Amino acid sequence: MIGDQIAELNRSVEAFERCVTSLNDETFLKPLRRWTPRDIVAHLVGWNRHVIEGSRQILKGELPFYDVDPGEDFANVNAEHIRKYPSQDRDELLEELRGSERELTSFLSSIDEGAWDRDFGVRHEGSTITVKNTVDDLIADYAHHQSQLAALAR
């Protein structure tokens, strides 16, 4: 179960990365709506690392820090990622993405199978938060952003 979800996450990151590399330099730095593709990569680097810290909190029965004051559609959290990873160089930012993916994969692989989808009593906005559904949300975010960028590559 954990291995399958980690493999799905890895496939999602790889597909997203292929999509990013298909963009020309101008498109990589051109705003879509409020973000550029560069900003989206920085956003996902940040979330890879936040999922590690947030999952540690979930496993202790605590609400992940990013759910405390996320702002509208996690605007506060996402703005932090864009500031923290400011590089305009696609290769450098993609290397940061791969590094954060390795960190996340290593962490997730260390979690006991029994804790993966266990209810530790963590609730947010009426929903139970588990490590599994947190990773599911991250995988969905990769797919969402990949579809946005795929439209640009055409």
Q: What is the pLDDT of residues 56-112, one digit of tens each?
A: 999 999 999 988 866 677 777 888 899 999 999 999 999 999 999 999 999 999 999
Contact 139, 63 (CB under 8 A): no
Predicted pLDDT at 70: 63
- State both tokens at 42: 């920085």
Contact 101, 48 (CB under 8 A): yes
Delimit the domains of the chain by residue range: 2-153
3-state secondary structure of 128: strand
Residue-wise pLDDT for 37-67, tens only, equals 999 999 999 999 999 999 999 999 999 998 8
Residue-wise pLDDT for 111-147, tens only, equals 999 999 999 999 998 999 999 999 999 999 999 999 9
Predicted pLDDT at 20: 97
- State both tokens at 122: 């963590």
Predicted pLDDT at 154: 62
Query: Which pTM does this prediction carry?
Result: 0.94
Q: Is CATH 3.40.470.10 what the domain over 2-153 is classified as, yes or no? A: no
Q: Residue 69 phi/psi, 5° resolution?
A: -140, 70
The mean pLDDT value for 9-15 works out to: 98
Predicted pLDDT at 152: 80
